[in-house]
Each structure stands twice: as structure tokens, then as C-alpha cells.
Amino acid sequence: MPEPNSVGNRNSDLPIVSSHNLGWTNLVVEEYQQPSGEMQMQPEADPVMVMSLSSQPHRIHQTMGSRRYTGLYRQGDLCITPNGLSSSYCAEGEDHYLYIQISSVFLQKVAEEALEPSTGRVELLPNFQIRNPQLESLLRLLQTEIRQEGRMGSLYSESLTNALAVSLLQGHSSTQPRIAQYEGGLGNRKLLLITRYIADTLEQNIKLADLAQLVGISQSHFSRLFKQSMGLTPYQYLLQQRIERAQQLLKQTQRPLIEIALACGFDSHSHFSRQFRRATGTTPKAYRTY
């Protein structure tokens, strides 16, 4: 999924931060800041969202296909451009925004697996300057994750990507389907399989796709059924298990803190300390001495 094509008054196509080097497969997230000017975008193979991050409202003139729009964009305002539509915009004043491109193939897969009724091919609707608190919250979390260079891991980013796809399809597609309901959680056998797998691979970069494949269901179904069973999202449970393993190692061994951090799946001492303190109210070093 390429970056936006542009012409006109733009100093650089380089984003401030980007997900390109994080190994994300279904989503591109990039943060841009650039001066006033005009941009022309060619039709893309995948739909694009742009969320305003500008601290001050500013006027933007836009086209999307044959439609034209002028509005005063505020922080959190969203624009959605479906795949296959050319577009342009002209910003009056410095523009700061989050650029998101999500795979059309992935959206279709989520629609078929997680939503009902099944109505065949789904398409996103073009939208100028809309508000959607749920989408904004998810995009803020993704922005933080790319700024932190993917520190929270694959399970976290994949869970956000699935939630983003579902929210887009429910609120901004031609069919606006609802989430298919499944009762009863994962069941004891599947739950035991998953929790044992997590316990055995805590030090690894566990992926949502791996967990879902282990029990033979889609990622979207897996996330909801796991939460029904455990009362936590897969990522919340993984983090809980990593903290508990770290507590055991801190009390039972004299291994250096960085070794414990890596053994529990944290990518650095600072990441380990921050998550440990958030969960327990104290630092790993202080916990060891209690």
C-alpha cells in the first residue's frame, strides 16, 4: 500500500513516523506535518482515511471523484476515501494529520468472517469531515504505537487493526452490517490450548493470527470469544501473564532485570519497567527488594 501521491506545495513526502518498518501486513499508518498547499492523489487500490491532528482549526478544500467540499477541519475530524477514487485537497495553513490505508482484501475478509448479514462484496462510503469517537480512539492508539516503534507487539497492533476494520464496516460501509453474535466463549479445550501456548511462548512476539489459527477460527471471532471466556482481550491477558512471570523471576532468581525483561517478552528494560509499574504500582527493582 503506497504513500499518497502528491503535487504542488509540499516540502517532503517523508512522514514524521510510519508503520512501514514494523511488519504490519494489513495496515499502513503514517503521521505527516506539512505547510499549506495543494495535493492531488491518484486512485488507490485500498481505501484511505485521514484524521486531522492540527491543534488549530483550518480550512480545507477537497474533491473526491466528482464531489467537492470545503470545511473547517478540527482535531479528530476524519475523511474517508474509498479505493478507486481520485481525490485532492488544498489546506489553508499548516496541516498535521494521520494517514491510514487499510487493505481491501482484509476488509472483505473481516466482513465475511465477523459480520452479518453476509451481503457479498462490501464497499466503504466516501465521507468528508466526519466524527467517530470509536475510530478516533483506535487511530490514536495506532499513532502512539508507531511513535513507539511497535513496542507493544504484534498481538496488540493486530487486535487494533481488526477492531478498526469492524468499526469502519459497521459505520461507514454501503451495507453497515452488525457483528455476528457467538455465545459461550472458546470452550475449555480451546481455552486450555491457547493459555498453554501463551505460557510456553511468552518471550516471543505472539501474533493474533497464530492464536486464531491454533483453534481454527478467524481473528475477529477469536478476539471476541477469548474475551467472553477470560474477561480480558488477548493482549490484556498476554500482558498479565508476562507481568506475573516477571514477578516470579524477580522473587525466585537473581537474574539481571534486562534478562528478565527479554525472557518475559518485553523488548527493553524501559518498556518492562513502565508496564510493570503500571500493573503493580512499583518498579521491578523495588518489587525484588520487598
284 located within any domain: yes
What's residue 4's pLDDT? 43
Last residue of a domain, one of 125, 141, 172: 172
What's residue 117's pLDDT? 57
State whether 83 and 30 are in the same domain: yes
Taking 50 as the threshold, does the pLDDT of residue 192 lie above it?
A: yes
93 located within any domain: yes
10 located within any domain: no
Cell, residue 76: 479528530
150 located within any domain: yes
State whether 108 and 77 are in the same domain: yes
State whether 34 and 150 are in the same domain: yes
State whether 272 and 210 are in the same domain: no
Concatenate the DSSP letters of all residues of the chain into one string. Answer: -PPPP--SS-S-S--SEESTTTT-SSEEEEEEEE-SEEEEE---SS-EEEEE--SS-EEEEEEETTEEEEEEE-TT-EEEE-TT--EEEEESS-EEEEEEEE-HHHHHHHHHHHEES--SS--BPPEEEE--HHHHHHHHHHHHHHHTTTTT-HHHHHHHHHHHHHHHHHHHBSS--EEPP--S-S-HHHHHHHHHHHHHTTTS---HHHHHHHTTS-HHHHHHHHHHHHSS-HHHHHHHHHHHHHHHHHHH----HHHHHHHTT-SSHHHHHHHHHHHHSS-HHHHHH-
pLDDT digits (tens, 9 = 90+) for 51-102: 999 988 889 999 998 899 999 999 999 999 999 888 998 998 889 999 999 9
Which CATH number is 263's domain given?
A: 1.10.10.60
State whether 101 and 196 are in the same domain: no
State whether 149 and 269 are in the same domain: no
What's residue 118's pLDDT? 59
Q: Out of 7-21, 161-175, 207-221, pick the least confident.
A: 7-21
Domain that holds residue 48: 17-172
What's residue 122's pLDDT? 79
Number of structural domains found in the chain: 3
pLDDT digits (tens, 9 = 90+) for 3-36: 444 333 333 468 999 999 999 989 999 999 988 8
Last residue of a domain, one of 117, 151, 172: 172
What's residue 115's pLDDT? 66
Q: What is the mean pLDDT of residues 184-212?
A: 91
State whether 88 and 190 are in the same domain: no
State whether 210 and 81 are in the same domain: no
